[in-house]
A = this chain, B = another copy of it.
Amino acid sequence: MDKCNAKNLLVSKKLKVTKQRQLILERIIGRQGIFTVNSLYTKLEDEIDLVTIYRVISIFEEKGIIREVLSNYEEKRYELACIHNPVHPHFNCSVCNELFCLEAVSDNLIKLLQENISDYLVKDISIQFKGICKKCLENNLT
């Protein structure tokens, strides 16, 4: 998967380039997965205040740099929202409780899903599967 450049991305979104924003965005781009504010704080707590991370994440979401992932966890979950990471379904394992990213669904299938919905203007679709992941199946933790 290709990667974006943190500083360029900030500039292109007309955001001031601060040390904190760069560090946070570099980490998000570098790790390419689902994250929480606390998962960022764990790695950056020597350099950035927790409140700052909340505020930066909020701004990143507004600017479309990241998107919130639909989930029922207590902590909000996010993922990078650049062209290299198109909207895709997620899988929540009920044994290890992990949330995995899956391959994007074909446009055709998305169209089929939307066909019934005439009363609404659809802008976005979230799909989440629930079940047991391969690792947990193999470990007989069912």
Residues of A within 8 A of B (CB): 68, 70-72, 76, 89, 91, 93-94, 100, 102-103, 105, 109, 112-114, 116-117, 119-134, 137
Determine how close the nearest CB of chain B comes to the CB of A120; give it in whole angstroms: 5
Cα–Cα, bound, A129→B129 (Å)? 15
Chain B residue contacts of A134, Cβ below 8 A: 119-120
Query: What copy number does this chain have within its complex?
Result: 2
Chain B residue with minimal CB distance to A136?
Answer: B121
List B contacts of A125 (CB < 8 A): 127-130
Q: List 22 contacting pairs A-B, 8 Å CB cutoff, sorted by A.
A: A70-B70, A70-B71, A70-B72, A70-B126, A71-B72, A91-B120, A93-B120, A94-B123, A105-B116, A109-B112, A112-B112, A113-B127, A117-B129, A120-B132, A120-B133, A121-B131, A121-B137, A122-B129, A122-B130, A123-B131, A124-B130, A126-B128
